[in-house]
């Protein structure tokens, strides 16, 4: 079993910090500006913002684990297991602006679904790779992308 980390790039960290600060200011201004509905609307908006931030944090990729039978994408909360028998193709992706159909565009990473119907868990757009399986496509990033791709290809060759 081998682990590969997936750390956030500087741009992801800056976007996350910026959005958290802006959302904090929005909530604070709702509590202070609108006296009649300030508390109720402030609480509701605060809960929506907090739950959205928790969702994106929970789905942010922490590490990639190569096991005996599965490739595991370990998120902050939860994981996705991809059986090696389901992997059709693995490819290195160049730096790009991910076109999301829905999801986070930099807050805790690029998390969600892309226009090419890929599940995205990208923390660093300079180190992206894609795994295509029978059912789904997964786009994610790793700090040691070249080594990870080589290791997965090696495991796939020995499984056949």
> Domain-by-domain residue ranges, the chain?
1-160
> Over 60: is that where the pLDDT of 160 sits?
no
Instruction: Give the residue, 28 or 133, on which the prediction is more confident.
Output: 133
| Predicted local confidence at residue 38, as pLDDT | 63
CATH of domain 1-160: 2.30.29.30
- Cα dihedral 34→35→39→42 (10° resolution): 10
pLDDT per residue as tens digits for the range 65-121: 998 889 999 999 999 999 988 999 999 988 877 777 788 888 999 998 888 888 999
Instruction: Give the residue, 53 or 32, on which the prediction is more confident.
Output: 53
Which of the residue ranges 29-33, 49-53, 141-145 would you say has the lowest mean pLDDT? 29-33
Q: Is 106 left (phi over 0), alpha (psi -120 to 50) or beta?
A: left
Give the Cα separation of 4 and 127 in Å (integer).
Answer: 12
Closest by Cα among 74, 72, 61 to 141: 61
């Amino acid at each position: 079993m081998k682990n590969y980390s997936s750390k956030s790039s500087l741009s992801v960290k800056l976007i996350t910090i910026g959005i958290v600060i802006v959302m904090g200011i929005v909530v604070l201004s709702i509590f202070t500006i609108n006296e009649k509905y300030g508390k109720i609307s402030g609480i509701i908006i605060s809960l929506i913002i907090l739950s959205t931030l928790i969702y994106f944090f929970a789905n942010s990729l922490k590490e990639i684990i190569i096991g005996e039978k599965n490739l595991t994408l370990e998120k902050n909360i939860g994981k996705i297991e991809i059986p090696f028998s389901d992997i059709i193709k693995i490819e290195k992706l160049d730096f790009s602006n991910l076109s999301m159909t829905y999801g986070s565009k930099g807050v805790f990473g690029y998390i969600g679904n892309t226009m090419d119907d890929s599940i995205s868990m990208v923390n660093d757009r300079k180190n992206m790779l894609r795994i295509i399986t029978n059912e789904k496509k997964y786009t994610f990033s790793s700090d040691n992308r070249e080594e990870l791709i080589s290791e997965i290809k090696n495991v796939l060759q020995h499984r056949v």
